[in-house]
Structure 1
Amino acid sequence: MFRVLFAIGFRPFYLLASLYAGLAVLLWAHLALGGAGPGGGFNGMSWHSHDMIFGYVTAVIVGFLFTAVRNWTGRKTPDGGALAALVALWLAARLLALTPYAVPAAVVDLLFLPLAAVGVARPIIAAKNWRNLFVIAVLMVLWLCNLLLHGETLWPSVFDGTGQVAKPLAFDVLTLLMAVIGGRVIPFFSANAIPTLKPVRLMPLEVGAIGMLVLAAVLEPFRTLDGVAPILGVIFAVAAALHGVRLLLWKPWQTRPQPLLWMLPVS
């Protein structure tokens, strides 16, 4: 059982992320109805926003990357005992967040993404798979956002207001990751499953659509400066339009006969 479960990254992380999503919703409902909140550094609302990103989403991302990087590089990502240790670290962070021990909870939580990044970086670098180095940067930017959130909670005099930057920046980076990976996976699987489907990829459109999201992430830390927020609004509007065209060129309506396919463009 252990060998099967920890043979590849998506198995334990997808399983635990799914279970945690259901349990976390129950806890959030309890908090929304006036119940006692987590005993750690985060109150009810901040715990909800933090663990939605750095609990649930990071587990899904790491599970995906530990699986995808094997296909990209032909080399192993953490499995067996090493994978089990990372899963235990993630689980410990989730449990410690519900205790009064805020500093240990933050330390354990902040260890997870750098160690996961090492597990992703080693095969990518060994295989010289440079086109996928960006996923390591994504993990480390998410780690920085997590650090800023914990810092604001534990040492507000030093990290005053950093949460206002960390949360939207984390969302920007996650959106960028989904746009890049989705742009690879959705047309590829659709065309493989339906031979008559011919997705269209226009390189100027790809560069523009992804570039808008990169620009938004770069500007996000400066949102509070005069004039930056309206510029970000325009960038996001342009990005939405470009990605809408990008999606239409993949001809998603032709995937209707196969639910396993059409759920990809719908999502």
Structure 2
Amino acid sequence: MAIPRTPPGAYPAVLSYGFRPFFLLGSLYAGAAILFWLPLFYGQITTSSVFLPVDWHVHEMLFGYLAAIMTGFLLTAIPNWTGRLPVQGLPLLALVLLWLAGRLAVFFSADTGWLVGAAVDCAFLLAVAAAAATEIIAGRNWRNLKVLLPVAVLLAANVMFHAEAHYQGISDISRRLGLGAAVVLIMIIGGRVVPSFTRNWLARENQGRLPSPFSHFDAATIALSATALAAWAFFPESNVTGAMLIAGAVLNAMRLARWAGDRTLREPLVLILHVAFVFVPIGFLLAGLAVVLPGTVPSAAGIHAFSVGAVACMTLAVMTRATLGHTGRELQASIGTCAVFVAIVLAAVLRIGAAFVPTDAILLHISAMFWVVAFLGYAALFGGMLVQPKLRARQPNKAPS
């Protein structure tokens, strides 16, 4: 459906669509936050936050970086679902400034007080949920209201994160709840875009077996997996939770196998979507084994399979494709783009490996290096596209009159 646009020049190009400011700021923040994190972890620098260093790291990855990318994606996808104008101009600028205010509020919460920091920080996700719900309801696009459930859970997890950190001294349930909400969002949205983009490319370039359409099996897999993640958040030591997580691993692996990813090896922009989703069943499996085999599989392995693997790889894959498509470029992966994909996958694999050898920091440091290369590499490659107007299609030369 064609979506009307406001007149050119009404505001800067970077405020014409949600993906532009949030993908740019989110990628810069992801890279900068990890550069800051390791010296913070080793006590070489400090923050003015009420959070412990590890809590600051976890919080800013979930509710800083991920929240920004999720917002950019939703504000770009919702107009396509509803046929309405995108959130742009001053309303979009207000959301961007609120996100920035949240980052500052968390960093300086020891000076402002934990409650002020929490209120400013949580206001962003509340505003995003309200904006998304308003647009979906106004467009009468009822079937996509379910996408708001993981957003609402992420907001609730953020509120709980601040409360736990204040009253208990460290976050616990809220970490897993927020990460679980992110994984559910990937299972829902990824379950749409991965087979859809795969089908489109295969139909055009490699005719033959196509991804299976969404079915009751997919719905059941998402339902069971979401239940397992909820149990993991609140009952992380229960053997029932472990069994459910392992079942989620099997079902998500079967779901991925139905999407014909093995036929996309020639197209990096499609292949990376499948590679990113691979970390979903890996995360479920490692998280489940950590429950049923305590002391053998570290809990950090599953956490980082979900976070550095599924979340980071999928967000970079979607960011890259959306940036190219929505700025009028060809959907082709350059050498630099492929390098970004390789870097983030290596970061994920090495970070999972580092969980098994916590006494040796070399894997952790190399993983962090690849993470920074991936996100700052994205910003370097695509930043110009995000702040410049969309390329116009070339018009055929008119014959002289």
Q: TM-score, normalised by structure 1?
A: 0.91
The aligned residue for residue 67 of structure 2 is 58
Q: Is the 8 A contact 2:164 2:171 kept in 1?
A: yes
Cα deviation digits, residues 77-136 of structure 1 (max 9, x gap): 421111111111111111232222243322110100110111111121112212111222
Gap change, CA 1:107 and 1:202, over 3 Å in 2 = closer
Cα distance in 1 for residues equivalent to 2:265 and 2:216: 28
Q: Is the 8 A contact 2:197 2:270 kept in 1?
A: yes
Cα distance in 2 for residues equivalent to 1:257 and 1:77: 34
**Structure 2 residue identity aligned to 1:52:** M
Aligned partner (choices 144, 155, 159) of residue 156 of structure 2: 144
The aligned residue for residue 74 of structure 1 is 83
**Structure 2 residue identity aligned to 1:36:** I
Aligned partner (choices 197, 222, 226) of residue 189 of structure 1: 197
Q: Is the 8 A contact 2:37 2:57 kept in 1?
A: yes
**Structure 2 residue identity aligned to 1:239:** G
The aligned residue for residue 166 of structure 1 is 174
Cα distance in 2 for residues equivalent to 1:217 and 1:90: 27
Greater mean deviation of Cα atoms: 212-221 or 68-77: 212-221
Q: Secondary structure at the match of 2:238?
A: helix
The aligned residue for residue 233 of structure 1 is 242
The aligned residue for residue 123 of structure 2 is 111
The aligned residue for residue 223 of structure 1 is 235
The aligned residue for residue 112 of structure 2 is 101
Cα distance in 2 for residues equivalent to 1:201 and 1:232: 29
Q: Is the 8 A contact 2:52 2:170 kept in 1?
A: no
Cα distance in 2 for residues equivalent to 1:192 and 1:18: 28
- Give how far 1:220 is off: 4.1
Q: Is the 8 A contact 2:161 2:171 kept in 1?
A: yes
Q: Is the 8 A contact 2:229 2:245 kept in 1?
A: no
**Structure 1 residue identity aligned to 2:272:** M
The aligned residue for residue 188 of structure 2 is 180
Aligned partner (choices 34, 38, 52) of residue 43 of structure 1: 52
Segments of structure 1 that go 5 or more residues without pairing to the other structure are none
Q: Secondary structure at the match of 2:12?
A: helix
Q: Does 1:90 align with 2:99?
A: yes
| Number of positions where the alignment pairs a residue of Structure 1 with one of Structure 2 | 260
Aligned partner (choices 13, 28, 39) of residue 19 of structure 1: 28
Cα deviation digits, residues 43-94 of structure 1 (max 9, x gap): 2111001111000111111110000111111113421111111111111111
The aligned residue for residue 316 of structure 2 is none
Cα deviation digits, residues 7-60 of structure 1 (max 9, x gap): 110110000010001110111021123223211211211100111100011111
Look at both structures and tell me which one has the larger radius of gyration over its CA atoms.
2
Segments of structure 2 that go 5 or more residues without pairing to the other structure are 1-8, 277-401
Higher relative contact order (CA 8 A, sep 6+): 2
Cα distance in 2 for residues equivalent to 1:92 and 1:115: 13
Cα distance in 2 for residues equivalent to 1:21 and 1:35: 20
Cα distance in 2 for residues equivalent to 1:262 and 1:186: 9
Q: Is the 8 A contact 1:40 1:105 kept in 2?
A: no
Q: Is the 8 A contact 1:201 1:246 kept in 2?
A: no
Q: Is the 8 A contact 1:172 1:213 kept in 2?
A: no
Cα distance in 2 for residues equivalent to 1:132 and 1:191: 21
Cα distance in 2 for residues equivalent to 1:42 and 1:163: 9
Task: List structure 1 runs of 4+ shifted beyond 4 angstroms.
Answer: none
Cα distance in 2 for residues equivalent to 1:162 and 1:34: 17
Q: Is the 8 A contact 1:145 1:167 kept in 2?
A: yes
Cα distance in 2 for residues equivalent to 1:77 and 1:235: 39
Q: Is the 8 A contact 2:198 2:260 kept in 1?
A: no
